[in-house]
Structure 1
Amino acid sequence: MYLTNIKVMKRIFKFVEKYFFIIILIAVIIAIIIPNSFNWVMEEFMGINVINVLLGVILFGMGTTLKIEHFVNVFKRPKEILLGVSAQYLLMPLIAFAIASLFSLNEALTVGLVLVGTVPGGTASDVITFLAKGDVALSVSLTAVSTVISPILTPIITLLLIGNTIAFNPVDMFISIVQIVIIPIALGLFLNYKFPDFCEKLKDFLPTLSSIVIAIIVAGVIGVNKEAIISSSLVVIAVIVLQYFIAMLLGFAVGYLSGMKRKQMITIAIELAFQNSGLSTSLAKTHFPALTLATVPGALYSVWQNFAGSILAYVFTKYYNDEE
């Protein structure tokens, strides 16, 4: 009976992992109908932002799935890793800033969109890459490397893009990213190193847990900013969709021009388009508290990238893959 229950749970978790955008859509609907239900996500507990704790849970889970070999891949596959990370921190920020300027977004939405562009790749990219039959090992390594160097690059690039017009402290942002990202990942890595068998069992459940936590974060942001989102929804949705598809197309272009095979091209495109939108939302809440709408682009980007990504994964699998 116990083994049967475990198998049933694994099937449920696998289903949720594959269709995790449904969980996010359900959370969004609840947040719109009952906006106060997720207010606690945007509040503080004992002086700590709840959203930062939730994000730490996701990144701790990510850490338990990583191994040293994911970082060693930098030396084994330098060309692909270098191209992927360079595109991540050069193209995505420029895309975000260009779109914000093109649409003449206000300060808050500009900050939010730029942060979506300057944060590292998200863990969802690994799931989508798997579903799209891309190069999962490359995806995991790109996510790991871009995440580890994010405390340095995210504040610097954000400062270069908006520092002249919107004041913030890049050193404080560096400290926040270390606390929110590096420490949880390091703890997860340590747990995986000491108890690999235990962490291997966790892999069946962690993607689903991450999906649920991301859904809660998204719902919290949308619930608090419901009226503002509704009043500016068309513009916000337009820039989010545009940012996503430009990133996807440029990812393919980078892969194609550098002579990569299809699996790697798919992986670079997905990695570039999929951002750690939860981190962008957290940074917006922590470092731009007066600009409440700055949290909105990250939340909506999370909804869109997971929804569109699931569809694109099906398209890639059916029409744009080869046997390699």
Structure 2
Amino acid sequence: MKRIFKFVEKYFFIIILLAVAISLVYPKSFEWVLSNYNGINILNLLLSIVLFTMGTTLKADDFINVFKNPKEIAVGISAQYVIMPLIALALASAFSLDSALTVGLVLVGTVPGGTASDVITFLAKGDVALSVSLTAVSTVISPILTPIITLLLISNQINFNPIDMFISIIEIVIIPIILGLILNYKFPEFCERLKDYLPAISSIVICLIVAGVVGANKQAILTSSTIIIVVIVLQYFLAMSLGFGIGYLVGMKKKQIITVAIELAFQNSGLSTSLAKTHFPSLSQATVPGALYSVWQNLAGSILAYVFRRFL
């Protein structure tokens, strides 16, 4: 059984491409992902599972590390919530994206770092402890910063309630993480055994989310694929390049530079998709950038991790 989970973890980028292919050929096979069951939003539930698994891997030491590496944390978090949103807005403007795609792209930029960054950092021989701390901190402060920054960037185009978004992030992100932390505190040995399975579980859930969104927006993706894919690729590589540049300019060591670059480029795209669907229901294509970014960041990240490990 453990081998199966390790296989899923190792070949996640292939599995997510397969899920996307199936959703494009048979879009109805994943339509349940975006539905409700007894009043429960399935998409939000799936995302909460990912964040819960993240919580079970966290300990107090991960937050204490913030004080051990104040410069790296400050630089990483600042870049996360300043550079990524500005990249998104600049690209949306440069490519004249419509309101829906602009909202989706901005949300990709304003959400916290994704949990997959920790795995890619490990594969790239970066500073895993720093990566975990950056992901944890950016996630914990996201209920405040994500709605505020999103409001500042798109309020002139689209009206939305940042308080409702704040509540959504608390429900989807913070509560599951706290529950995971509690479980880890009460049953540390159990959670330690779970670590061999959690990355694969998170990977499967992310595949389902991406497949659901891609299937629901099949026509929109096929008709606007060239532009939005170019934008997504540019957003990713600009973030990675600026992460390297900023880390170098502030005098970080090689491992920390790699970590900040990966952390900046890897976003919680599942959360951006969920927020787009929940708070911008009239803009169905707003979920597309998050889904496509999830596919691309995991595919490109797996390749870059190999490059970093071999040549940096």
Indicate the TM-score class for this superposition, using the shorter chain for normalisation: over 0.9
TM-score with structure 1 setting the length: 0.95
Does the residue aligned with 1:232 lie in a helix, a strand or coil? helix
Matching residue of 1:11: 3
Number of aligned residue pairs: give it.
Answer: 312
Q: Note the C-alpha offset of 1:28.
A: 0.3
Which of 122, 137, 159 is matched with 1:167 structurally? 159
Q: Using the alignment, how far apart are the partners of 2:275 and 2:11 within structure 1?
A: 27
Structure-to-structure mapping, 1:242-261, within 5 angstroms: 242-261=234-253
TM-score with structure 2 setting the length: 0.99
Structure-to-structure mapping, 1:104-183, within 5 angstroms: 104-183=96-175
Q: What are structure 1's unaligned runs of at least 5 residues? A: 1-8
Matched, 1:221 2:217: no
Q: Using the alignment, how far apart are the partners of 2:133 and 2:126 within structure 1?
A: 13
Which of 256, 268, 272 is matched with 1:264 structurally? 256
Structure-to-structure mapping, 1:62-101, within 5 angstroms: 62-101=54-93
Does the residue aligned with 1:71 lie in a helix, a strand or coil? helix
Q: Using the alignment, how far apart are the partners of 1:73 and 1:318 within structure 2?
A: 28
Q: Using the alignment, how far apart are the partners of 1:247 and 1:71 within structure 2?
A: 24
Q: Note the C-alpha offset of 1:22.
A: 1.1
Structure-to-structure mapping, 1:193-208, within 5 angstroms: 193-208=185-200
Q: Note the C-alpha offset of 1:18.
A: 2.1
Native 8 Å contact 1:36 1:223 kept in 2: yes
Matching residue of 1:30: 22
Q: Using the alignment, how far apart are the partners of 2:105 and 2:228 within structure 1?
A: 9
Overall identity of the aligned pairs, in %: 76
What whole-Å deviation, never above 9, does each CA across 1:162-216 have from its counterpart, x for those lacking one?
Answer: 0121010000000000000000000000000000000000000000000000000
What is the RMSD computed on CA atoms of the aligned residues?
0.6
Amino acid at match of 1:289: P
Structure-to-structure mapping, 1:289-304, within 5 angstroms: 289-304=281-296
Matching residue of 1:282: 274
Native 8 Å contact 1:32 1:222 kept in 2: yes
What whole-Å deviation, never above 9, does each CA across 1:55-82 have from its counterpart, x for those lacking one?
Answer: 0000000000000111111111110001
Native 8 Å contact 1:92 1:117 kept in 2: yes
